Amino acid sequence: MTEAGSSAVRDEIVSFPDEDLILVNDQDEEIGHLDKLKCHLGSGILHRAFSLFVFNQQGELLLQQRSSDKPLWPLYWSNTCCSHPRRGESVDYAVNRRLQQELGLSSKAEFLYKFKYQAQYDQTGAEHELCWVYLGRCDAEPVANTTEVQAWRFVDPAQLSAELSQHPERFTPWFKMEWQELNSTHADKLKQYTRNLRSL
C-alpha cells in the first residue's frame, strides 16, 4: 500500500456543499438541480453520479481511501474516483475534472454501464445515485489531494476480491456492488483492463 502522506501530495478544496448536482428520474432523465448537501440528507434524493476504475499497465486497480473529513463513509476504501457532474456538466467532463482534482491524473475513460442504488450511511445521510461506471488506464503516480484522499494503493484484482470477501466492512457499498457487477456481467471487458500488458 502507498500512503498519500509518504508521496507527493497537495491540499486543495474542490468539493462544496452548495454546488448544484443534477437530479434525475429512474430513466436518468434530468428533472432539476439541488445542492450537494441536500441531495445526501436523510435517505437521499436521486441524482447523477459516476465511478471510475483506473488500472495500470500491470493490470492493478488504483484504490483510494476516502478522507477522514468526508461526511459519508470517511476512511473507507473505494475505487479510483467517485463523484458527481455539476449542473451544466457532462458526465465525461466531470470524470476527467475529478480525477485531476483528487489524484492529479488523467485517463481516457471508457463508459461501461450505469445503475441505480441507495445506500444508507447513518440516520443523517445516504447515497441515492444513478451512477455511470467507467474504466480507464494510467501508469502515472498519483498526487493525492489530501482534502479528498487519505491514502491510495494499486492492488491486484485477485487480491482485491479476497480482501472484499474477508473484510467487506472496509469498503464503500457502491464499490462492492460495482466490483461484483464488473466480475460477472462485464467480465470480458474487465479482463481487457486487468491483463498485465508489461508481460505481453
Q: Is 129 a catalytic residue?
A: yes
Q: What is the domain range of residue 186? A: 4-199
Pick the catalytic residue from 39, 81, 82, 131.
82
Question: Residue 127's closest CA among 66, 182, 53?
Answer: 66
3-state secondary structure the chain: CECHHHCCEECCCCCCCCCEEEEECCCCCEEEEEEHHHHCECCCCCEEEEEEEEECCCCCEEEEEECCCCCCCCCCEECCEEECCECCCCHHHHHHHHHHHHHCCCCCCEEEEEEEEEEEEECCEEEEEEEEEEEEECCCCCCEECCCEEEEEEECHHHHHHHHHHCHHHECHHHHHHHHHHHHCCHHHHHHHHCCHHHC
Q: Is 19 a catalytic residue?
A: no
Q: How many domains does one find in the chain?
A: 1
pLDDT greater than 60 at residue 167: yes
Report how far residue 162's alpha carbon sits from residue 164's, in angstroms, rounded to the nearest whole number.
5
CATH number at residue 71: 3.90.79.10
Pick the catalytic residue from 60, 127, 129, 148.
129
Q: Is the distance from CB of 4 to CB of 66 less than 8 angstroms? A: no
Query: pLDDT tier at 85 (50, 70, 90 boundaries)?
Result: very high
**pLDDT at residue 200, rounded to an integer:** 56
Q: What is the pLDDT of residues 23-76, one digit of tens each?
A: 999 999 999 999 999 999 999 999 999 999 999 999 999 999 999 999 999 999
Q: What is the pLDDT of residues 90-143, one digit of tens each?
A: 999 999 999 999 999 999 999 999 999 999 999 999 999 999 999 999 999 999
**pLDDT at residue 13, rounded to an integer:** 77
Query: How large a percentage of the chain has pLDDT more than 90?
Result: 88
Report how far residue 4's alpha carbon sits from residue 20's, in angstroms, rounded to the nearest whole number.
29
